[in-house]
Chains A and B, each alone.
Chain A
Amino acid sequence: MALTEQEILAGLGKIVNEITGIPAAEVTPEKNFVDDLDIDSLSMVEIAVAAQDEFGVEIPDDQLKHLKTVKDVINFIQN
């Protein structure tokens, strides 16, 4: 069964908090990982690996660089 946007957002918030310490509440769909959340490329890899484990979706490296906002990741996981 497909996860709702809210479920994915909650899961992502938990992951981002665990990895970066940023409060989960700040992880909202419009946020850009680099510009808004100040997350570096190594941390993005960590987040991607954790997201793959959490949601069972493979994120190829060439896709990862296109996932700039939280909403991008939600869309990728939903599709």
Chain B
Amino acid sequence: MSSDRIRVVVTGLGATTPLGGDVASSWSALLAGRSGVATLTEDWIDSVPVRFAARAAVEPGEVLPRPEVRRLDRAEQFALIAAREAWADAGSPKVASDRLGVVVGSGIGGITTILEAYDNFREKGWKRLSPYIVPMLMPNGSAGWIGIELGATAGVHATVSACATGAESIGYAIQMIRSGRADVVVAGGTEAAIHPLNVASFAAMRAMSTRNDEPERASRPWDRTRDGFVLGEGAGIIVLESEEHARARGARVYGVAAGVGYSADAHHIAQPDPTGAGISSATRHVLEDSGLTGADIKHVNAHATSTPAGDVVEAIAIQEIIGDHPLVTATKSMTGHLLGGAGGIESIFTIKALYDRLVPATVNLEDLDDGVEVDIVRGEPRALPGGQIAAINNSFGFGGHNVAVAFASI
């Protein structure tokens, strides 16, 4: 790592997840091994083959004022709640408007808004449509709203890379600060896609678990009997800051956002490359970018979605490029899969693991699949060693996107 490069640190965390309405409650639920997955009671549930999901633990309408609820798609509601928590957690930094940026994306955007507005349009005509439908459905809407609220004029961006979105946003933010475009960037991902069309469409891909009689046990990364991912919703957003800026204002620093590695499979639109070449490549790149070695990496928050195709390939790539020493966990076993929000909340969990030196266990892993030889945390959380350590959050997405973000202790 070149010594003259701007170092980026993490100074604020915010989340609303299936485990809790903020970071503290989500993190303590993870450590307790609690699942956020439950049977759905919506009236459409009999029309789809999957009858459970990981709903946000706190309804955004209970937190936000009514005018905001009217004007924001559910994904934007989650994003604003998480961004406000992260900003307050960072101590509401005083920063010049043109030195403040936002990078917040969503995998799907305001799909519930689109579908409900279309029904409304067909029933009542265009004059009954809300003038806020366009900003509600556009995938960059969350970034735009957060940018307005914070007065961020250095640049407001929204990466879209399916389930790698949240991690890619954080990677983009790291590079935005390193390039000198901004001193502070609010970054992460959000998703609100528990809608019958999405459930039906993912089910049509045979990508989702159908363990309807035991929803809490449905998300089971690396287990031999895993049968697909579990849909979740929520947002995870962090405040990234140049170390110089953070130190100058005496900010509490959670850790270093050490680097990002990207690659693309160029293999199949929705299936992972069975050789794991793309994952290995992203892992090599994140080590190069962060100046870390495999030996420095003591923990990996794996992408591991509980699909038959992806989990084992990722474990093999971790073992090959990093080694078999890191403590590996899959928090999706408890949160479900937040799609574009996953990289946001899982980066937060990775940072919290480094900060608290504690890795949450993967739940529901009863019968380890063949070929998985990495050290997966099971049963109880396990402690990370003292001293200078680092960790990686992996996020991969349909389209063949592979993103690995590295964080290091201070």
Contact = CB atoms under 8 A, between A and B. Distances in A.
Contact of A42 (B65, B66, B131): B131
B334 to A, nearest CB: 36
A18 B70 contact: yes
Contacts of B66: 18, 21
B61 to A, nearest CB: 13
B215 to A, nearest CB: 36
Interface in B348-398: none
B65 A46 contact: no
A45 B131 CA distance: 7
Interface string B129-162: 0111000000000000000000000000000000
A46 B130 CA distance: 6
Contacts of B128: 49
Contacts of B132: 42, 46
Nearest to A52: B127
Contact of B65 (A21, A43, A45, A49): A21
Interface string A35-72: 00000001101100100000000000000000000000
Contacts of A46: 70, 130-132
Contact of A21 (B67, B127, B131): B67
B63 to A, nearest CB: 14
B358 to A, nearest CB: 41
Classify the secondary structure of A's interface with B.
helix
A54 to B, nearest CB: 13
A20 B70 CA distance: 9
Size range of the interface on B?
Answer: under 10
Contacts of B65: 21
A10 interface: no
A47 B158 CA distance: 30
Contacts of B127: 49
A19 interface: yes
A20 B66 CA distance: 8
Contacts of A21: 65-67
A19 B67 contact: yes
Interface string A11-35: 0000000111100000000000000
Interface in B66-121: 66-67, 70
A20 B67 contact: yes
Nearest to A20: B67
A67 to B, nearest CB: 16
A42 B129 CA distance: 11
Nearest to B130: A46
Contacts of B70: 18-19, 46
Contacts of A45: 131
Contacts of A18: 66-67, 70
Contacts of A43: 131
Q: Which of B66, B130, B131 has the most CB of A within 10 A?
A: B131
A46 to B, nearest CB: 6
A45 B134 CA distance: 14
A49 B124 CA distance: 12
Interface in B31-86: 65-67, 70
A42 to B, nearest CB: 4
Nearest to A40: B131
A18 B71 CA distance: 11
Interface string B250-286: 0000000000000000000000000000000000000
A49 B126 CA distance: 11
Contacts of A19: 67, 70
A43 B67 CA distance: 10
A19 B131 CA distance: 12
Interface string B213-234: 0000000000000000000000
Contacts of A42: 131-132
Nearest to A49: B128
A15 to B, nearest CB: 12
15 contacts: A18-B66, A18-B67, A19-B70, A20-B67, A21-B65, A21-B67, A43-B131, A45-B131, A46-B70, A46-B130, A46-B131, A46-B132, A49-B127, A49-B128, A49-B130
The 8 closest A-B pairs by CB, nearest first: A21-B67, A42-B131, A45-B131, A21-B65, A20-B67, A19-B67, A46-B131, A46-B130
Given A18-B70, A19-B67, 4 more contacts: A19-B70, A21-B65, A42-B132, A43-B131
